[in-house]
Amino acid sequence: MADNLIIVESPAKANTIKKFLGGKTKVVASMGHIRDLPKSKLGVDVERNFEPEYINIRGKGDLIKSLKKAAADAKKVYLATDPDREGEAIAWHLAHILGIDEKEICRITFNEITKEAVQNAVKNPRTIDMNLTDAQQARRVLDRIVGYKMSPVLWKKVRRGLSAGRVQSVAVKLIVDREEEIENFIPEEYWNIYAILADNKTNKKFEAKFYGKDGKKLELHSEEEVKKVLSQIEIAQYSVKNIKKSEKKRNPAPPFTTSTMQQEASRKLGFSLKKTMSFAQGLYEGVNVPEKGTVGLITYMRTDSTRISEEARGYAKKHIETTYGSNYYENRYYKTKADSQDAHEAIRPTYIDLEPDKIKDSLTNDQYKLYKLIYNRFIASQMATAIYDTVSVDIEANNYNFKANGQTLKFDGFMKLYVESLDNESKDEFTKIPELEVGEIVKKEKIDTKQSFTEPPPRYTEASLVKALEEKGIGRPSTYSPTITTILERRYIEKQQKQLHPTDLGKVVNKLLTENFKDVVNVEFTAKMEEEFDEIADGKEKWKDVIKEFYGPFAKTVEKVEKELEHVKLEEEVTDIPCEKCGRMMVVKYGRFGKFLACPGYPECKNAKPIVQTIDVPCPKCGGTVQIRKAKSKRNYYICENNPKSCDYISWNKPKPGEPYNEEESKTIKRRPTRRKTTKKKK
| φ, ψ for residue 653, nearest 5 deg | -100, 140
Q: How far apart are CA 551 and CA 490, in angstroms?
A: 26
Closest to 308 in 3D by CA, of 176, 161, 111: 111
Catalytic residue of the set 78, 238, 284, 300 = 300
**Is the bond leading into 603 cis (omega within 30 degrees of zero)?**
yes
Would you say 403 and 209 are in contact if contact means Cβ atoms under 8 Å apart?
yes
Taking each helix axis as running N to C, give the angle between helix 168-184 and helix 504-516, from 0 to 180 degrees, rounded to the nearest 10. 110
DSSP state of 46: G
210 φ, ψ to 5°?
A: -60, 135
SS (H, E, C) 389-458: EEEEEEEEECCEEEEEEEEEEEECHHHHCCCCCCCCCCCCCCCCCCCCCCCCEEEEEEEEEEEEECCCCC
Q: Judge contact between 32 and 12, C-beta under 8 A.
A: no
Phi, psi values for residue 333, rounded to 5°? -120, 135
The angle formed by the CA atoms of residues 261, 144 and 556, to the nearest 5 degrees, is 125
| R_g (Cα) of the chain, nearest Å | 31
Task: Determine whether 300 is an active site residue.
Answer: yes
Measured CA to CA in angstroms, residue 654 lies from 308, 311, 399, 629, 661 at distances of 51, 57, 53, 11, 12
CA 637 to chain centre: 27
Q: 471 - beta bridge partners?
A: none
CA dist., res. 29 & res. 14, Å (int)? 6
Q: Which positions ≥6 away from 279 have C-beta within 8 Å?
A: 271, 366, 367, 370
DSSP-derived letter for residue 254 is P
Alpha helices by DSSP H, 448-572 = 462-471, 480-489, 504-516, 523-537, 543-565
Written as one string, the DSSP assignment of 317-328 is: HHHHHHHT-GGG
Nearest to 479 by CA among 262, 636, 286, 283: 262
Q: Are 351 and 284 in contact (CB under 8 A)?
A: no
Q: Which of 112, 165, 80, 123 is nearest to 485 (CA)?
A: 165
What is the rounded distance in angstroms from the CA atom of residue 584 to the CA atom of residue 582? 6
Judge contact between 574 and 587, C-beta under 8 A. Answer: yes
Which one-letter amino acid corresponds to residue 415?
M
- Answer whether 523's CB lies under 8 Å from 472's CB: yes
Residues annotated as catalytic are 300
